[in-house]
Amino acid sequence: MDQSADLLLKDRATLTADRKAIKRKQRFPFLMMLPFFVPVIVFVVVPIILMLVMSFTDMKFTLKWNFIGFDNYRRIFGYPDMSKILARTLLLVVGNTTLSVLGSIFVVVITTYYLDIVYRRKNLGLLFRIIWLIPNLTPTIVFMFIWRFMFGPEGYGMINKMLAAIGLPAMNWFTNWSMQLLLASMSLSSASGSIILFSSAIRQIPESIVQSAKVDGAGNFYICRRIVLPYLRWPITQKTLWSILGNFTAYESIRLLTGGGPMGSTVTYAYYIYQNAYQYHTYGYGAALSVFMVLMSITMGLIMLRVFQVDKQLRVPRMDI
């Protein structure tokens, strides 16, 4: 009987120790993520809650919390130029995303696939990639200052000086072509930022696949279209999603290059928030605009995840044996 009791006690002790070990194992991931959760709650969740509460107030420069209900949201939908602002924002998002993604693909295919792999001119390809990275490595304020200097008015802008030197009239670039200049500058900076991602994706293509295609008689253009571009599917998806959400919330380039002008022709939704929150000090209305932007960003992100079928791209590939 004593031996049976001792065995029973040992089994219970072993079972208790196993349960404690399982609980420690279950708690360990949460303990590891605790240093991440605390900053997120303090610097993300709490400000979002404060912004949501502020959107129901008429807070201005005096910082008084006077609750006015849904008046700020009614003001958003009642603003007469809101449709133009949203259309302008959509134009900038679609145009910038399209130009930056296509530009990135073109440059990377030329420099990494053709120059590095096909023609074995790695130094030349590296030089082009370094030059292409310069717009993204340049601080935004410096990059936009260069554009203002290039397309400045007569007597100041470099391009107008060059036109005058050959006897051509000066152009009012920021009066007639403000949106085009903004789109070109943002696309150039955004396109150069994905050069490393796309180039590394091409480098990951197994050389045996390319060599097998060449043995079967495939040309370089066919290999680029049927092998290289499919391998870029995930980087292209990532770049497109990031560009859409980034361009939708971008305002600093507009502030530095055009200031929303002329006559509000380059005011996007994000810049409209900046104007109301930081220039006009209508913090309550700016918070309501921000809440509406968060909802639109979430909706846009979910739609893009569905369109690009990200869940299928993240699945573990099946290995045929």
Q: What would the DSSP string read from start to end of 117-185? A: IIS--HHHHHHHHHHHHHHHHS-HHHHHHHHHHHT--TTT-HHHHHHHHTTPPP--HHHHSHHHHHHHH
Classify 67 as helix, strand or coil. Answer: strand
Q: Residues 16-74: pLDDT tens digits?
A: 766 777 777 777 778 888 888 888 888 888 988 988 999 999 898 888 888 998 999 99
Which range has highest mean pLDDT (2-6, 72-76, 114-118)?
72-76
Q: How many CB atoms lie within 10 A of CB 85?
A: 17
The amino acid that residue 3 corresponds to is Q
Task: Count, in order, helices (H) and strands (E) of the chain.
Answer: 18, 0
What's the pTM value of the predicted model, to 2 decimals? 0.81
Q: Residues 80-102: pLDDT tens digits?
A: 999 999 999 999 999 999 998 88
DSSP 228: I
Q: What would the DSSP string read from start to end of 79-114? A: -TTHHHHHHHHHHHHHHHHHHHHHHHHHHHIIIIII
Phi first, then psi: give them for residue 55, nearest 5 degrees: -65, -15
Which residue ranges make up each domain of the chain?
1-44, 71-313
For the 71-313 domain, the top CATH level (class) is mainly alpha
Contact 277, 286 (CB under 8 A): yes
Tokens of 173: 């670039």
Q: Which of 270, 226, 283 is nearest to 244 (CA)?
A: 270
Beta bridge partners of 57: 67
pLDDT at 321 over 50: no
Beta bridge partners of 67: 57
DSSP 235: H
Per-residue confidence (pLDDT) for residue 314, from 0 to 100: 65
Q: Which residues of 247-264 are buried (b: 16+ CB within 10 A; e: fewer)?
A: bbbbbebbbbbbebeeee
